[in-house]
Each structure stands twice: as C-alpha cells, then as structure tokens.
Amino acid sequence: ESYDMGGHDTYMHKEISEQADAVDRVLRGRIDDRFSTVHLGGLNLDAREARGVRRIKILGCGTSYHAGQIGAQLIEELARIPADAEPASEFRYRNPVVDPDTLYVAVSQSGETYDVLAAVQELKRKGARVLGVVNVVGSAIAREADGGTYVHAGPEVCVVSTKCFTNTVVAFALLALHLGRIRDLSVADGKRIIDGLRRLPAQITEILENEDEIKKLAAEYADAKSMMFIGRVRGYPVAREASLKLKEVSYIHAEAYPASELKHGPLALIEPAMPTVAIVPDDDLLEKNRAAMEEIKARSGRILAVAHQVQEKADHTIVVPKNENELDPILMGIPLQLFAYHTALAMGRDIDKPRNLAKSVTVE
Ligand code: G6P
C-alpha cells in the first residue's frame, strides 16, 4: 500500500477499501495451528509473567480509545482478565493508582499522540509495565513501551481513522487469544477464534461489495440534524465509533448510548427528525435489542439497523456476515464507515481533512 490514491476520490475511501488486505496482514505469520494460539513476538512478556497479570488497563484517544474498548471486551471474554479502556488524557490527570499486577496497554495509530505518550511516560516513571498497540513502526510510543505489537494497517492518511481502527481491534483479538491460551481458554475455543479470524478478510470484502446500497441509505438519512447510535455490550463501542465517524466527517451531530440506557434520558429526544442507528448482533442480547427498537418505533423514530438478519422493527437493515460472537464487533462498524463517508460526500465535506481536526495531536 502506498500514498498513491489508486483511483479513489479520497484517502478515506481508499483506506476503507483496503481493509481486507490490511486484516490479512495483521494475521499473517502469527497463527499457530498446532497449539491453537498466536505468536506475538514483540510483547516481551513470558508465559509466567502473563499468568501474573491481574488487570489490564488500555489507554488511547479518539478512535484508538474506541478500539481499546472493544479490545478490553475481547480480553475479558477470551482471557478472563478484568480489562477496561480509558481516554489517556483523563487517566493521566486523575493521579491513577498504579498497581504492579496491572498490565497497561497504550494504543495509537500514529504512536505520537501527546496525551498517550505522556501517560506512558508517567506509568513508566512509576514502575508499571506498558505495552504498545501501535501502527507506525518506530514511533515515540512504540519506542517508549516495554513491548507490544504493531497493527500493520499500512499508511493511513485521512484524518479520520478507518482501516487502522479495524486492524487495531484485530490486533487486540490476537492479544486476547494469546493471553487466553496461556490461561483458561480451551484448545477448541482457541481454534474457533482462529477460524473466525481467518474468515474476516473475505467477510470484509462482502461488506464492501454492498457499497451501492449503503450509499442509497446515506442519502436517505443525510437530512438528519442529529442521529442516535445504540448498541449493547459488544455493540456499544461499535455504536460509539460509528457516531464519532459520522460527526467527524459529516458534521452531523451524533451521540452514542447503550440501548439499555435509552429509557433513562435519550428516549425524550426520539422523534422522526432524530433517526437511530442500531447495532444488533445475533447474540444473546438480540431480543433486548429488538425491544429497544420497539421503544423507538413507538415514538415514531426512524431506525437503520446493522444486523445479521433483516430486523422487522427497523426501517432499513444493513445485513453483515456473521462471525463468532466475540469477533462480530470487528465487522459491524465497517458499513457505517461507508455510511459516514457517503453522507459527508453528499454534503460536500472536506472528507480527508475535516475542519478543526488533525491526524495526529502531538501537543496537549
Ligand atoms: C486525532 C485523530 C483521530 C485519532 C486520534 C488518536 O484526534 O483525528 O482520528 O483517533 O487523534 O490518534 P492516534 O494516532 O493516537 O491513534
């Protein structure tokens, strides 16, 4: 992959289109079928040390923070280690308790974001072990961390992150699988996840082939002044990232909420002029998500669902291919990258360089 636009009108479109190859690259050479695990050479964390980790704290900003939220869920699901993600900027200013049994993970596309770098430096000063999940090889955060893994997304030029988000989440799936197989994840489950990871590139291609339909849907919803994005558990960080993508690139106001929290406030906003995008994976929360859509319909809200099957409660559904439950979040956000892109295109926005934003924020 290069800086050449290769026939695309924007880097955003080019980078969205490159995702199947990018995911293929982050997987390449790392899968160990014999032990149903993966090798991550640069972690600098041996099996005994990995077993001693009691908590994982993930730090990042913007889209990388959202990738870290999905990463934390993957680590909890596959490795059963308590994990959460926090904006690095907030973490650093609350005089955090730095615990020797906690593994810290700094996540950054550029590897240069000041708030993340400063958090890493503060953690290291206090004696913590910090790993980096970084795209740019040799960047400041990669150099400062004790070890880590590169996400191999290739160069990302558009200010808003797309392919690097996807690759970062896949890198977290690899980390979670690696830690899981050192701890209590069975061989069978390890194999199940590996098979799922191998299906991702073809499934991404399938999603991207649906671009014409997504473009039509973007035209349908582009008149909205504001949009609500909802999801639950695995779907919630997907909703957050999709909402961020839409607002960054189209300037349409968007907010993301856990579907379960609608009744505690945001339902008051629902009306025909406030459409909702619902992330509805075919998992144990399917019925709960359907009930949330029913609540929205009862208030005359329009719904666009991203789901594994057509949702009757929704006005429109973008159907995405099903993977293993744990890996579904990797795929469900991809059509919404195209949705944000086509909405912004229809509105004549400066897609690769949205106003007021920078690709890399190297100052506080
Ligand atoms: C800026 C960019 C975002 C990015 C964030 C974190 O705000 O506009 O797209 O997610 O920085 O950048 P990083 O390079 O650390 O992932």
**pLDDT digit string, tens, across residues 78-87:** 999 999 999 9
Q: What is the mean pLDDT of residues 156-181?
A: 97
Start-end of H helices in 222-333: 235-250, 286-298, 328-332
261-268 long-range contacts, CB within 8 A, separation 24+: 262/230, 262/292, 262/295, 262/296, 263/295, 266/228, 267/295, 267/296, 267/299
* 96 pocket-lining for ligand 1 (C-beta < 6 Å): no
What are the b/e assignments for 301-330, b being 16+ CB within 10 Å?
A: bbbbbbbbeebebbbbbbbbebbbbbbbbb
* 217 pocket-lining for ligand 1 (C-beta < 6 Å): no
pTM value > 0.95: yes
**Dihedral (Cα; 323, 325, 327, 332), 10-degree rounding:** 70
Alpha carbon separation from 265 to 22, 34, 95, 257 (Å, rounded)? 39, 51, 31, 10
Residues labelled as active-site residues: 359
Q: For the CA atoms of the chain, what is the radius of gyration?
A: 20
Q: Could you tell me the distance, in angstroms and rounded to a whole number, from the CA of residue 285 to the centre of ligand 1?
A: 31
> Is residue 215 predicted with pLDDT exceeding 70?
yes
Name every residue whose Cβ is closer than 8 Å to that of residue 38 and which is 6 or more positions away in sequence. 30, 31, 32, 174, 177, 178, 194
Predicted confidence at residue 1, as pLDDT, reads: 60
Mean pLDDT of all residues belonging to the chain: 96
> Is residue 6 predicted with pLDDT exceeding 90?
no
Q: Could you tell me the distance, in angstroms and rounded to a whole number, from the CA of residue 64 to the centre of ligand 1?
A: 7
> Is residue 3 predicted with pLDDT exceeding 90?
no
Read off the tokens for 116: 């993340």
Predicted confidence at residue 4, as pLDDT, reads: 84
Predicted confidence at residue 46, as pLDDT, reads: 95
Q: What is the mean pLDDT of residues 126-146?
A: 97
* 361 pocket-lining for ligand 1 (C-beta < 6 Å): yes
Looking at the CA of residue 136, tell me the nearest atom of ligand 1: 14
Q: Could you tell me the distance, in angstroms and rounded to a whole number, from the CA of residue 357 to the centre of ligand 1?
A: 9
Instruction: List the beta bridge partners of residue 297.
Output: none
> Is residue 67 predicted with pLDDT exceeding 80?
yes
Closest CA to 147 of 137, 132, 136: 132
Residue 252 near residue 225, CB atoms below 8 Å: yes
Residue to mutate (ligand 1; options 58, 92, 113; most atoms within 8 A of CB): 113
* 357 pocket-lining for ligand 1 (C-beta < 6 Å): yes
